[in-house]
Amino acid sequence: MEIEILQKENLHFADLTLLNCNGLPHQEKVNAARQYWQGTTNRDTNTEVLYTGQFKIKALIQR
């Protein structure tokens, strides 16, 4: 889906690889969670984008 974001201040970019922490000790999980919520400046395939707010659907993309 392609969307037009109407409120850009509601975007959070996070490193998706930090969620792969199931086998880690508790304190490392806590550190990973903190890093996740601090966000990232990366914009690659390992970047998760969270958004809350108004948007408009521009197109549905089928592959």
Domain limits, the chain: 2-59
Q: What is the mean pLDDT of residues 38-43?
A: 95
C-alpha span between 38 and 15 (Å, rounded): 9
User: What does the pLDDT average to over 1-9?
Assistant: 87
pTM of the predicted model as reported, rounded to 2 decimal places: 0.74
Average pLDDT of the residues in 24-52: 95
Closest C-alpha to 54, from 9, 1, 7, 11: 7
Q: How far apart are CA 53 and CA 55, in angstroms?
A: 7
